[in-house]
Amino acid sequence: MAVAQPTVATTQARVATPKRQIPLGSIFVNVTLAIICILWTLPTLGLLISSFRPREDIAVTGWWAVLPHQSWITTAQVQLPTGISLDQPVTVNGNTVTDDQLRAGYTLPNGQQVKWANRRSRLVNVQEKQLTSVTNFTLSNYQNVLTGQEYTTKDAQGNIKTERGDNMSGAFISTLAVAIPATLIPILIAAFAAYAFAWMRFKGRNMLFALVVALLVVPLQVALIPILQYYNFLHINGTFLAIWLAHTGFGLPLATYLLYNYISQLPRDIFESAFIDGASPFTVFTRLVLPLSVPALASFCIFQFLWVWNDYLVALIFLGSVPGKQVLTMRLADIVGSRGQDWHLLTAGAFISMLIPLIVFFSLQRYFVRGLLAGSVKG
């Protein structure tokens, strides 16, 4: 069987076909997103690196000092006569320099720099510019933050002080005790409510749903004082129950609205078949609605957990300064207020507070993505 040979015209047409051009708009969007990602990631990277650096290094250099860079490195020291007067220029390695130049660092003609190492002892550092990186890492910052153990520090004058770290392990447990129930309770109640609004017929359904939507516009700050007065009347202020109820009340309108939009789009045939088989509304909810609504439940769980975990205002008002019940945000605020100079502890504490939200987000992300893609492929 003969195979048809391509004609000259066909070959020329194939050669003349232009390559697909990438739109400039797509390139601009991708470059912009890459820049945003880099700008968003850099502070987190700096926070992580600083949390492992000693206090002395944080005080004199930035976190980027761990990257290779040119810096002055002391290669020798010159001891001047202890009785020499600094009102007049002094001679260091055959070069005449003043006291002010030694304070700021003076570059010699040979490329070296001289600078005071200890002015009182008349000790001068001779430095050369070399490629270096500051890689002094330690786990003591996390030990000080989590266990509250004692540690020693040295100030600029050389004085050694002994201080005790901030024990945040109790605050970590308290935050979990607040965040987990305050996430599960509103999701459970909102799932019941969304199912009722979507698939059950009862009097006043539309009015009640409109009321739920209207609650979304109520500012959080408006309700804090009235709720606090009721809590004081019921003698539950300063307890975990108080903050659970507060987060549940503030999270229910949004949870109900989001879950209603998802549950109302489920196929009607599934519910009709279940009711024909004799299933009760509760059975339909537990056996059909909840398994099918996992993506929506997971997406709201991410939002609610992150909101509760990072909350400071609600915890401050309804928990206050009750010993043993402070959450992580309150403990971090105390560290900033009392010891704002201890960046090594602040960075370690801040990164610890980020771990659980990151774990929750990446654990539930696959359900969230599955919910976005559900129904996009048929057959």
Eight-state DSSP code of residue 53: S
- At 1, the pLDDT band (50, 70, 90 cuts) reads very low
Characterize 143-158 residue by residue with b for buried, 16 or more Cβ atoms within 10 angstroms of its Cβ, and e for exposed: ebbbeeeebebeeeee
Give the model's pLDDT for residue 338: 55
pLDDT above 80 (res 335): no
Is pTM beyond 0.95? Reply is no
Give the model's pLDDT for residue 22: 66
Contacts (Cβ under 8 Å, ≥6 apart) of 199: 263, 264, 271
- At 184, the pLDDT band (50, 70, 90 cuts) reads very high
pLDDT above 60 (res 374): no
Give the model's pLDDT for residue 85: 79
- H/E run at residue 162: strand 160-164
- H/E run at residue 169: helix 169-199
**Least confident interval from 85-94, 298-307, 336-345:** 336-345
- At 375, the pLDDT band (50, 70, 90 cuts) reads very low
Task: Report the 3 state secondary structure along 68-104.
Answer: CEEEEEEEEEEECCCCCCCCCCEEECCEEECHHHHHH
- H/E run at residue 127: strand 123-132
- At 370, the pLDDT band (50, 70, 90 cuts) reads low
Task: Report the 3 state secondary structure along 334-376.
Answer: HHHHHCCCCHHHHHHHHHHHHHHHHHHHHHHHHHHHHHHHCCC
Q: Tell me the per-residue pLDDT of 119-135, one tens digit each, with 9 for 90 and over.
A: 888 888 888 888 888 88
Q: Tell me the per-residue pLDDT of 188-197, one tens digit each, with 9 for 90 and over.
A: 999 989 888 8
Residue 217 Cα distances to 46, 55, 88, 209, 267, angstroms: 37, 46, 73, 14, 31
pLDDT above 90 (res 35): yes
Query: What mean pLDDT comes out for the span 10-29?
Result: 64
CA 207 to chain centre: 39
| Whole-number Å distance between alpha carbons of 362 and 269 | 34
Query: What mean pLDDT comes out for the span 298-311?
Result: 87
- H/E run at residue 156: none
Give the model's pLDDT for residue 377: 43
Pairing of strands 95-97, 160-164: unpaired
Q: Tell me the per-residue pLDDT of 44-57, one tens digit each, with 9 for 90 and over.
A: 888 888 888 888 78
- At 24, the pLDDT band (50, 70, 90 cuts) reads confident
Amino acid sitting at position 155: D
Structural Rg of the chain based on CA atoms: 33
Q: Tell me the per-residue pLDDT of 200-212, one tens digit each, with 9 for 90 and over.
A: 888 888 888 888 8
Closest residue by Cα to residue 289 from 184, 186, 199:
199
SS3 call for 126 = strand
CA 118 to chain centre: 42
Query: What mean pLDDT comes out for the span 63-80?
Result: 85
Count of CB atoms situated within 10 Å of the CB of 48: 15
Query: What mean pLDDT comes out for the span 237-249?
Result: 88
